[in-house]
Homo-oligomer: A and B are copies of this chain.
Amino acid sequence: MSVVDAAASVFCREGYAGANIDLISAEAGVSRQTVYNHHGDKRNLFVAVVRDLTERCNAGIFATIATFPDQPADLEADLIAFAVRMNRNCICNRDGRFLRKLIQAEGERYPELFAEWREQGPGRTWSALAARFARLAFAGHLSIGDPDVAARQFLALVNAELQITFMLGGIPTEEEVLRSATNGVRTFLAAFARKKSPAGKQAALVHA
């Protein structure tokens, strides 16, 4: 395990103040001196960890968003599968859990450190996802007012049942992820599936 990876693990488990270099070097399988040689400083090492996690997480998120179902065969099934991928590859995986925990624990103390994440992470991520939903709406698969709102609500719904697990730093089972995603997507589609306008015209435009 690389030094930065070990450091990420220890920082997350023990918090910045509680982490000590001996633990990190032991977990990385190198001597303490090597840690100092490479990163000079505890603070510096922490910065490297955050950068590393931010980068990998963003890459993972964008890679996953690229698999968004633009031409869905079965909209519900495709969105559920997408939600499950999102969870597995971006939110529940090692990097996602670690970054989330570091942001929660140290975000207030090092605002400048996470400013980069704030802009490049959620900012771009949500925009990208919103664009995909807008495209689905444009293609007639959904009826969406504000795509940004819809994207945020999609993520919120799909993770609704995993909140406590996340809060306690746990890892939901595959089954929990699937259940939460299924329930979330069904509600999402109940709200946004293309259907009558508020007035209630039902049978228009069924030319699929």
Contact = CB atoms under 8 A, between A and B. Distances in A.
A111 B170 CA distance: 11
B104 A167 contact: yes
Interface in A136-184: 146, 149, 152-153, 155-157, 159-161, 163-164, 167-169, 183-184
Interface string A33-48: 0000000000000000
Interface stretch (A59-67, A71-79, A185-193): A185-193
Contacts of A191: 187-188, 190-191
Contact residues on A (Cβ < 8 Å of other chain), bracket = 35 or more
A154 B24 CA distance: 42
A108 B160 contact: no
29 contacts: A13-B109, A14-B109, A15-B16, A15-B17, A15-B18, A16-B18, A18-B18, A101-B104, A104-B104, A104-B105, A104-B169, A105-B105, A107-B168, A108-B169, A111-B168, A118-B168, A149-B160, A152-B160, A153-B157, A153-B160, A153-B187, A155-B160, A156-B160, A157-B157, A157-B160, A188-B191, A190-B190, A191-B191, A200-B202
